[in-house]
């Protein structure tokens, strides 16, 4: 149920954002997510879609997930490279195993599309 509480957290954050911006609706929320974040994204989206039904503000809110690639940096030759999985990454340039993961664990709100009073005529 970890994903459910994360979804609740997102809903709270969106409510705050709406308040700060005097928005009466949130149409879209973009999430940047990487496999290494440990979040099971399908459950998260499912939970969010369930919770949003209870919130007037979010009823029509669409959630869009942008997947962040897993990127490593070689500490020997400084090459940055993408890799689909995260088992024994090896530098494609110099074959070094001395690599550091620099991307792929994101789990953040990237962008939110709000609907404010002013915009509606």
CB closer to Zn ion out of 69 and 92? 92
CB closer to Zn ion out of 8 and 97? 97
Burial class (CB in 10 A: 0-12, 13-18, 19+), 99: buried
How many whole angstroms from its chain centre is CA 54? 22
| 24 neighbors 92 (Cβ within 8 angstroms) | no
**Long-range contacts formed by 83-89: CB under 8 A, 24+ apart:** 86/35, 86/36
CB closer to Zn ion out of 37 and 96? 96
For the bound state, the minimum distance from the C-beta of residue 100 to Zn ion, rounded and expressed in Å, comes to: 11
User: What is the chain's length?
Assistant: 121
| Helix (H), strand (E) at residue 2 | helix 2-20
For the bound state, the minimum distance from the C-beta of residue 91 to Zn ion, rounded and expressed in Å, comes to: 3
For the bound state, the minimum distance from the C-beta of residue 70 to Zn ion, rounded and expressed in Å, comes to: 16
Pairing of strands 62-68, 23-34: parallel
For the bound state, the minimum distance from the C-beta of residue 67 to Zn ion, rounded and expressed in Å, comes to: 25
CB closer to Zn ion out of 82 and 119? 82
Interaction residues for Zn ion, span 40-99 (CB under 5 A): 74, 76-77, 79, 91, 93-94, 96
Size of the site for Zn ion (CB under 5 A): 8
Chain contacts with Zn ion (rule: CB under 5 A):
74, 76-77, 79, 91, 93-94, 96
């Amino acid at each position: 149920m970890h994903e459910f509480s994360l979804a609740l957290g997102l809903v709270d954050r969106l409510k705050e954002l709406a308040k700060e911006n005097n928005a009466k609706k949130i149409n879209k929320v973009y999430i940047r997510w990487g496999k290494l974040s440990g979040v099971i994204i399908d459950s998260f989206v499912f939970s969010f879609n369930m919770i949003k039904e209870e919130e007037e503000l979010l009823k029509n809110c669409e959630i869009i997930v942008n997947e962040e690639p897993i990127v490593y940096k070689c500490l020997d030759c400084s090459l940055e490279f993408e890799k689909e999985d995260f088992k024994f990454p090896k530098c494609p340039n110099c074959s070094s195993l001395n690599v550091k993961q620099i991307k792929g664990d994101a789990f953040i709100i990237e962008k939110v599309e709000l609907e404010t009073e002013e915009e509606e005529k």
